[in-house]
Structure 1
Amino acid sequence: MKERVITFGTFDVFHVGHLRILERARKFGNYLMVGVSTDALNFSKKGRIPFYNQDERMEIISALSCVDEVFLEESLELKRHYINIYKADVLVMGDDWAGKFDEFKDICSVIYLPRTPSISTTAVIEKIRIP
């Protein structure tokens, strides 16, 4: 049976931490689906519009060999809906979300992976910002 893995993220200013977590997520199954946060969702979560718009971020994620399918995530409250509609067997998230999605263990496995140390989109933006 084919294990279907689902994960979610903004993936703005794509960096090696994003790549590593997606590659590791893919190892939990044979098919990786990625929900990319819409611009509106990102603004509601972080108070800023992503540097790259949702279409550009979807294009970047779609181009990765470890990713099989990409869709727009419009609301954090729809996670259960996305897991069901995409028939996911496994939900993989970064460990900064540890425990926050345990409620979905009734419909799929839930795995939290360690993030790549010392890298984040915010850190990358701060590093390249011209004073």
Structure 2
Amino acid sequence: MTRIGYAAGAFDLFHVGHLNLLRQARERCDVLVAGVVSDEMLREVKGVRSVIPTAERAEIVRSIRFVDDVHVETVPDKLDVWREVRFTHFFKGDDWRGTPKGLRLEGELAAVGVEVVYFPYTAHTSSTALRRALEALAPSGATAAAGTP
């Protein structure tokens, strides 16, 4: 059976943690689909404005050699995403392991035969930390890091 992996993320302010997730995921599947969360979903689910627009983030991720295909996520429910992509393995950072959200995700995906695989979270580099650094560097009153001109 072909192992179809799915690794989802905003992939905004692309950094080594994103690369590590995609590299490790590709090592454990035959086909890797990267889920790029849309601008709208980022605002709705995380309350965050992307710095880089969805289409550009998808193009960046699509260009990475570990990625076979890109799926732009426009719905928050991973079961709905599964119905669209039909992945067999879902890859996530281990900061989700054992959390209520992670346990719920594991249960929902197990019901359709999907295994959730966790990888070490790259704690020293995150999009949140990069956003904070950009905000600290911005001149007083500037909103460039928030995605507005």
Give me the TM-score of the superposition, normalised by structure 1.
0.91
Unaligned segments of structure 2, at least 5 residues:
98-102, 139-149
**Distance (Å, rounded) in 2 between the aligned partners of 1:109 and 1:48:** 28
Give the share of equivalent positions with the same residue, in percent: 30
Mean Cα deviation higher: 16-25 or 81-90: 81-90
> Which of these two proteins has the greater Rg computed from alpha carbons?
2
DSSP-derived class of the 1:97 partner = coil
- After superposing the two structures, state which structure 1 stretch, 111-120 or 51-60, moved more: 111-120
SS of the residue 2:95 aligns to: helix
Is residue 7 of structure 1 aligned with residue 7 of structure 2? yes
The number of aligned residues is: 130
The answer (yes or no) to whether the contact 2:36–2:54 under 8 Å persists in 1 is yes
Give the counterpart letter for 2:5 in structure 1. Answer: V
For residues 92 and 104 of structure 2, the distance between their equivalents in structure 1, rounded to whole angstroms, comes to: 10
Moved more, 109-118 or 8-17: 109-118
Structure 1 gaps, min length 5: none
Q: TM-score, normalised by structure 2?
A: 0.81
Amino acid at match of 1:15: H
Number of the residue aligned with 2:69? 69
Q: How does 1:1-131 map to 2 (within 5 A)?
A: 1-77=1-77, 79-98=78-97, 99-103=103-107, 104-106=109-111, 107-129=113-135, 130-131=137-138
